Amino acid sequence: MAAVQSDVEHDMNVLALTGVEDKLQPNVLETLEKLRHAGIRVWMLTGDKVETATCISNSSRLAQRYQGIFRVTGLKTRNEASRALSRFRRQAGSDVLVVDGSSLQILLNMFPEEFIELAATAPAAVACRCSPTQKATVVELLKKHLNKRVAVIGDGGNDVGMIQQAHAGIVIPGKEGMQASLANRVQYSIILSPYSTSIMAWA
């Protein structure tokens, strides 16, 4: 590969740089603010990579300007997971938690109850590169160990499992929106509307 790069990448001029912005949907900032004021903790379970998810958590103000971000990435062993939990325990209540999919799986396998209870002390939590099974497992553990009402918002087939585990499922209409609405094993299944925020706060 190095030989190919050396042979091809020479005597070249940069013509342009491009960037892609993943814009928030309308009213996201206002909605998250209302949920915070209602005392509702917000978690983001996404298939995005860590960098993208962190940017979205900042732009959506899921992570406030005065809050730090505690990243848990690349865990491979029980000891690494234990040390990560110990470090986060010292920041609990102040830093937003960001964890990647492979690390999340280690934590769910080794320390499910401790991880969920500790993560719930964070102002917000972001799980990246999540599989549908991981999303559903997180929701199940939140219900089991914290005895809290859990509402889930999803927009596609990958979210069906976690919507089925939740007390209430809210579907965002879109290309895959109707797939998510097929999750019919919840107490409430709601198509996203201007009243959805009020419904979540009331529930």
pTM over 0.85: no
Q: Which domains does the chain have, with CATH numbers?
A: 41-145 (3.40.50), 149-203 (no CATH)
List pLDDT tens digits, range 66-110. 888 899 999 999 999 999 999 999 877 788 999 999 999 999 999
Element (H, E) at 107: helix 101-110
Give the pLDDT confidence score for residue 81 in this predicted structure. Answer: 95
- Centroid of chain to Cα 69: 13
Q: How far apart are CA 57 and CA 50, in angstroms?
A: 10
Element (H, E) at 70: strand 69-72
List pLDDT tens digits, range 106-145. 999 999 999 999 999 999 899 999 999 999 999 999 998 8
CA-atom Rg of the chain in angstroms: 19
- Residue 100: name the closest of 143, 42, 45, 138 by CA: 45
Query: CB of 121 within 8 A of CB of 149?
Result: no
